[in-house]
Structures are given as C-alpha cells and as structure tokens.
C-alpha cells in the first residue's frame, strides 16, 4: 500500500504517521527518503520493515523508477554491502 498524505502544517499528517507506526509496531517501522528508494544499495537498509515513512520530502525531480517498482509490486534490485546483490 502506498499512501501520499499532503497538506498544510498542523493538518494532522504527523499524527497519521504516528498512528501508522503504532499499528505496525515501532520495530517494524523506519523513515527514509525518495533517494533511498532509488538506490539499490540504500534500499538494503529497508528490508524487513513493514512500514516505511517518507516524511517532509523536499521537491524531487527524477523518474521515480524505484518508487514505481516498489509500489507496483515489481521485483527491485537490492545490493547490501559485503553480500551478493539480489531482487
């Protein structure tokens, strides 16, 4: 599930993220950036988390291939340090 929540400050976006974190469990949640999703090396740090928050993202320009692949259920490459890459 991919959910984009936008709105002015004070509209409850952070509260929604906190509730989602409570539902997933603190140990099952992490924060990242769009750039993290685009890099096979950085995606490795996200393995095992059921909730990945991308809070307060700056304007970003790119094709978003990593985000599209992940949210579309496609196989994505992951390249953990000192291990073989995989999808």
29 and 56 in contact (C-beta within 8 Å)? no
44 and 81 in contact (C-beta within 8 Å)? yes
Does position 60 have pLDDT exceeding 80, yes or no?
no
The residue among 20 and 68 whose pLDDT is bigger is 20
Phi and psi for 53 in degrees, rounded to 5?
A: -95, 140
Q: What is the pLDDT of residue 11?
A: 93
Cβ burial, residue 69 (10 Å; 0-12/13-18/19+): middle
Q: What pLDDT, in 10s, does the model give residues 48-58?
A: 999 999 988 88
- Report residue 16 as tokens: 């929604």
Q: What is the pLDDT of residue 58?
A: 80
- Tell me the pTM: 0.80
User: Rounded mean pLDDT of 12-27?
Assistant: 96
CA dihedral for 51, 78, 2, 13, sign (positive or negative): positive
């Amino acid at each position: 599930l991919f959910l984009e929540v936008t709105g002015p400050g004070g509209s409850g976006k952070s509260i929604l993220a906190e509730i989602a974190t409570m539902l997933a469990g603190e140990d099952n949640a992490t924060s990242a950036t769009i750039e993290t999703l685009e890099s096979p090396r950085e995606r490795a740090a996200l393995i095992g988390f059921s909730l990945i928050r991308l809070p307060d993202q700056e304007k970003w320009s790119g094709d978003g291939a990593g985000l599209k692949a992940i949210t579309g259920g496609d196989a994505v490459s992951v390249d953990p340090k000192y291990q073989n890459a995989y999808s």
